[in-house]
Structure 1
Amino acid sequence: MSSPAPPKSPELSDKSKKYDRQIRLWGDHGQAFLEAATICLVNVTAVGCEAAKGLILPGIGGFTVADGSTVKEEDLGNNYLGKSKALACKQLLQELNTDVNGDYVDESVDYILANRPNFFDSFDLVIASNLNEQSLLQLANRLWESNVPLVYCRSLGMLGSIRLQLKEHCIVEAHPDNRQFDLRLEQPFHALREHLEATEVTSKMPWLVVLYKFIKIWQKEQEDGRLAPSNYKEKTNLREAIRAEMKKDEENYEEAMKAVNTSFGAGLVPSSLKAIFEDDACEQLHKKSDIFWIMAKALKHFVVEENKGYLPLPGVLPDMTASTDSYITLQHIYRQQALHDADQVYHKCQHYLKQLSLPADSIDERTVRLLCREAAGMFVLRGTRIADEYEKNCRLLPLVEENELQGTLTVYNFALRAYERFLSECGSIPGECAVEQDIGRLKSITSKMLNDLGLHATISDDVLHEICRYGGAELHAVSAFIGGCAAQEVIKIITKQYKPIDNTFIYNAISTESVTLKL
């Protein structure tokens, strides 16, 4: 979780210019995580190459292609006939970005797992695509044991899917869509209260000063001691009180009225963060604890023991109409309090590191400040093994509402799995040669698979016909879409920013529909 230092040298400054647009999304620290990461691409397919392309262009640190096959005539659109697929893929991908280190191994996933299974342990993440069932389960189980994230992609005809296998993924910067500014107007900290009390309300003052004056009046009128309005009627009354005192052309009064809905209630511990505080990983630290949990425990101590149940102040102000001096003064007050709160959390982190006999530089001040700023949105995702989906499992039962799986994208999850089992059992692609014969074999395999799962359901013949009709073909448009989505999820995992899908994404290009399932 510790963020690498921001780039300072002229060379890295040029690199920052190259990646300017994406750095605006995930910051210098997110880019540094990306540039320090290495991934493995298992199985050279159109969807796998598209996923890798989506990581190489933004500057992933390095990639290794693992595939034991050679280029055949049907591959000629993208590779070189007779050459190692892994080598050809590596050469073409590396041309996209010379900053990225590329490598390859002429070995299939089955050979690697059988002869040197530790090969995958050195990667930050593995991307695999279009494997047969046996190979998929062996790879997924090995990566689960090694705690290496797996992103498994499928692209077949007009269908596509992504499955994320993550043991535990801790997110500090979730980037919520509706971020609420934490202003503490209803219960200001000491420095803010002193400033607001001493400031005269004029048309040049920020709207925070206006709103504070009116919320104070509102609080005095409440017999139950409430600090802020909580329903529509109360907020409307507060807005009307502000309007009644407003003179012409007072933009700060207008802004104060607009801010009534969003200016109160932040700073308290949300349910998602409360769950983190109550997690065993937070309560019971040990030498192998991820630093996320050490910081989470320090944060909890600050909130509960030192800050009366309030989170550290983020110290971020919204834009507002005001004189430059008044806005900068207010901004300084918030920033200083944010630094003070973060400093308290940082010192507690150091205390825990010392208790655990861990190096003091395991957690730096910059990382703690980031955590304190983003505390309200912290999130922990705990995933499930892919192998669990192949056993009798109650999680699958809610997906099957009718005896026949139809009219829902869920059916394609099972149809694609039946395709993979066909590959394992028959050693060939359904529909590649004998479509009619393979339809019967696929139907039999599907029926047995669903029965083994304890699902009393069937997949319609139309869907199975569709699977066989594709004959294992990948359509580039579908593969490009799924590969792009997969690359996006990989970036979320590596940068530890934004929430990844949890945990299966299915796409039907015919209807342009998609669904996310938790399996």
Structure 2
Amino acid sequence: MTSATPSPKSPEVSEKSKKYDRQLRLWGDHGQYKLESSHVCLINANATGTEILKSLVLPGCGRFTIIDSKEVTEEDVGNNFFLELSHVGQNRGECAKTLLCEMNLDVSGEAVIDDLEEHLSVHKNSKFFDRFSVVIASELSDKTLKLLSRTLWEKPGKSIPLIYCHCIGFIGWIRVQLKEHTVIESHPDSVIDDLRLDRPFPEMVEYFDSISLSSREDIVKTPWLIVFHRILEQYVKSHLLREDSMNCVNKENPHHLNTQQKRAFKEYLEKELRTMGLHEGDDVFAESMKAVNTALTPTTIPWQVQEILNDKKVTDPENSQFWIMCAALKAFISENNGLLPVRGVLPDMTAESAKYIGLQNVYRDKAKRDAEDVYNRCQSIMEESGNSPITLKPEDVRLFCKESCNLKLIRGQPIFEELETCPSSIVNEIAQNQESPNPDCMFYVMMRAALRYYSEFNFYPGASDPEQDITEFKACVSRLLAEWNCNVNGNADYIQEICRYGGSEIPSVAAFVGGCVAQEAIKIITGQYTPLNNTLIYNAVDCSTTSFNLPTD
């Protein structure tokens, strides 16, 4: 028996695999390589910020830069695990950097002691931010956040992803800014196996027909898929095609069964399996009966993928690997009966090893040929475009073809637009439930108001004179809602909840929000899984999270 994974080539690789074993199972060697090649920028090393970096340093992000001009205070020491009492009066970013680097010697870090607004002004037209894979910021004023958002969004060539987060007491706010983000490995929760029983390719039919099912002994050693296909063909010919005069058969593809036909086929399948001498105790019988609904799912292109293939960038992919491959994929589909490339992955089946391996090879070989076809089309597209700086490896195209049914595209909205206008979905939600508005919608309003309050007073509500701050913060909330043309009563509880913390962070909330932000950063860096689009509110009072996609008017 051969090992499922090759032996490590050196002690160094072996130690690295042991160190990062759990995460390698999530995003693989290629995802880990991207993470180790990344450079993360953190603006403000407060409690939430250092928790974010902790969750990026431990899995091995390559490098990080902290931009923070503040000095460590006793309050910082009280809620930030990466600061000590001896650090009071020293630069916060420099002190946090030292302790964070100690957590993983593979990661390097630096601290930039600059005021962010001055830094943005100085580097507005420079390439300072171009080196970062993602920028993460916390506790900024309304004005500074707008400036940062616009600077990163309007970068010539390619915008830089931005994640803004802010924790006040038991409430956390996360906002992800992505101009365009494409995902090949989206890792959906459930995937329907690509069996092609309704659209069989010639090599598949040839192999299926070569397997003998003349005796019970042969059948119990055969993968259920082959037995299933044989009985399905019999059913289509003997039942469905005879019923064609009743207009109940899909003329283009008689293998596409409706609900009633599936039910009838299941009865027919059970009868035929018993005729073959099988019963419930046989694996082939059990697996075939269990697979009726999924195995008969029509082979189609998911609507999300079709939308991507219809995008204008497919006709003008420029110098983007993703869009070049999409253009090649669209051409492949048009010449292959409207079908995506075969994935080449089969579910486990109880069968004789030789027969199952033979079946696997049929699908794998077809997947390999399809990927080679798409790769050649990519090369042609790049040659036609002239001197393209893009280099595509065959393994990149193979992965793209394998995951082509799960492609994702996110086009977001900039934070600076959201801060200058009103999020219509929040306003509509509040307007429809004025008597008992969604708490997390209201806390979004409170966090937006707190951002504005800080811009006006240079401290957070409750940090100065609690009674006066409540009055002024209430007025701030009212002005914000008035700008949104949103009238709602019952804000007092939410205002009190924000003001009672004075803008302070609670370590447990900072840790949770920090973990969430780090998770989104890893999704963006590795290009795997689907990141948040675009807002999340964490309500530790109710132990709930609510995500919003907040388009602006």
Question: Could you say if the C-alpha distance between residues 207 and 352 of structure 1 is closer, same or farther in structure 2, counting changes exceeding 3 Å?
Answer: same
Q: Distance in 2 between matches of 1:75 and 1:184?
A: 59
Q: Which residue of structure 2 lines up, in the alignment, with residue 250 of structure 1? A: 282
C-alpha distance 8-164 of structure 1, shift in aligned 2 (>3 A)? farther
Task: Say how many residue pairs are matched.
Answer: 510
Tell me, yes or no, if the aligned pair for 2:173 and 2:538 is still in contact at 8 Å.
yes
| Match of residue 445, structure 2, among 409, 414, 434 | 414
Report how far residue 10 of structure 1 moved.
4.5
Q: Answer yes or no: is 1:162 the counterpart of 2:192.
A: no
2:167 match: secondary structure: strand
Distance 1:250 1:188, change over 3 A: same
Residue 24 of structure 1 corresponds to which residue in structure 2? 25
1:146-225 equivalences in 2 (<5 Å) = 146=155, 147-201=159-213, 202-220=219-237, 221-222=239-240, 223=244, 224=249, 225=251
Separation (CA, whole Å) in 2 of partners of 1:36 and 1:500: 19
What does residue 341 of structure 2 align with?
312
Q: CA deviation at 1:357?
A: 2.4
Q: Deviations over 1:156-185 (max 9, x none)?
A: 100011110000000111111110110112
Of 244, 267, 287, 1:240 maps to 267
1:358-373 alignment, distance < 5 Å: 358-359=387-388, 362-373=391-402
- Contact in 2 for aligned 1:161/1:505 (Cα 8 Å): yes
Tell whether the 8 Å contact from 2:47 to 2:76 is kept in structure 1 after alignment.
no
Which residue number corresponds to residue 3 of structure 2?
Answer: none
2:493 pairs with 1:462: yes
The residue that corresponds to 2:134 in the other structure is: 125
Q: 1:459 to 1:493 in 2, by over 3 A?
A: farther
SS in 2 for 1:473: coil
- Structure 2 CA distance for partners of 1:410 and 1:102, relative to 1, 3 Å: same
CA distance 1:459–1:161, shift in 2 (3 Å): farther
Is the partner of 2:295 in helix, strand or coil? coil
Q: Is the 8 A contact 1:160 1:478 kept in 2?
A: yes
1:499 aligns with 2:530: yes
Return the alpha-carbon distance in structure 2 between the equivalents of residues 384 and 432 of structure 1. Answer: 32
Q: Offset at 1:290?
A: 1.7
Question: Taking structure 1 as reference, are residues 406 and 361 closer, same or farther at Cα in structure 2, changes over 3 Å only?
Answer: closer
Structure 1 residue 344: Cα displacement: 0.2
Q: Structure 1, unaligned stretches of length 5 or more?
A: 1-6
In the alignment, does 2:320 pair up with 1:290? yes
CA distance in 2, matches of 1:139, 1:184: 49
Matched, 1:273 2:305: yes
CA distance in 2, matches of 1:65, 1:122: 13
SS of aligned partner of 2:192: coil
Equivalent AA in structure 2 for residue 45 of structure 1: N
Measured in 2, the distance between the counterparts of 1:395 and 1:54 equals 32
Query: 1:92 aligns to what?
Result: 99
Determine if contact 2:42/2:136 at 8 Å carries over to the other structure: yes
CA contact (8 A) 1:229 1:235 kept: no
Does the C-alpha gap of structure 1 residues 259 and 402 become closer, same or farther in structure 2, counting only changes over 3 Å? Answer: closer
Choose which of 353, 367, 371 in structure 2 pairs with 1:324: 353
Instruction: Say whether residues 1:344 and 2:373 are aligned partners.
Output: yes
Superposed, 1:96-107 pairs within 5 Å as 96-107=103-114
Structure 1 residues 439-472: Cα deviation after superposition (integer angstroms, max 9, x where no partner): 1111111111222233334561121111111111
- Counterparts in 2 of 1:349 and 1:267: CA distance versus 1, 3 Å: farther
1:408, distance to aligned residue in structure 2 (A): 2.8
Secondary structure of the residue aligned to 1:154 is strand
Deviation per CA, 1:283-326: give whole Å up to 9, x if none: 2233xx32100000100100112x11010000000000000000
Letter in 1 for 2:179: K
* 1:139 pairs with one of 144, 148, 158: 148
Helix, strand or coil for the counterpart of 1:41? Answer: strand
- Cα deviation, residue 359, structure 1: 4.9
The CA distance in 1 between the partners of 2:174 and 2:76, in whole Å, is 23
Q: Counterpart in 1 of 2:55?
A: 54
**Whole-angstrom distance in 2 between the partners of 1:392 and 1:439:** 25
1:92-139 CA-to-partner distances (Å, cap 9, x unmatched) read 111111101111101122121122233222201001112121111111
Q: Secondary structure at the match of 1:126?
A: strand
Q: Secondary structure of the residue that 1:97 maps to in structure 2?
A: coil
Q: Would you say the 8 A contact 2:427–2:484 is kept in 1?
A: no
Q: Please, which moves more after superposition, 12-21 or 53-62?
A: 12-21
Q: Normalised by the size of structure 2, how large is the TM-score?
A: 0.89
RMSD (CA atoms): 1.7
Select the residue among 244, 251, 254 that pairs with 1:227.
Answer: 254
1:181 is paired with a residue of what secondary structure? coil
Q: 1:360 to 1:200 in 2, by over 3 A?
A: farther
Give structure 2 stretches of 5+ with no counterpart: 1-7, 214-218
Does the Cα contact within 8 Å between 1:39 and 1:125 map onto a contact in 2?
yes
Give the Cα separation in 2 of the matches to 1:432 and 1:439: 10
CA contact under 8 A between 2:42 and 2:65: conserved in structure 1? yes
Partner SS state of residue 23, structure 1 = helix
Q: Which AA in structure 2 matches 1:244?
A: K
Alpha carbons of 1:26 and 1:227: their partners in 2 closer, same or farther (altered >3 Å)?
farther
Q: Tell me: CA distance 1:501–1:8, structure 2 relative to 1, closer, same or farther (3 Å).
A: farther
**SS at the partner of 1:64?**
strand
Aligned residue number for residue 427 of structure 2: 397
**Are residues 459 and 415 of structure 1, via their aligned partners in 2, closer, same or farther at CA, if it must alter by over 3 Å?**
farther
Alignment deviations for residues 200-245 of structure 1 (CA, whole Å, 9 cap, x no partner): 2211000011110111022212223443354443222222222213
The letter for the 1-side match of 2:382 is L
- The 3-state SS of whatever aligns with 1:262 is helix
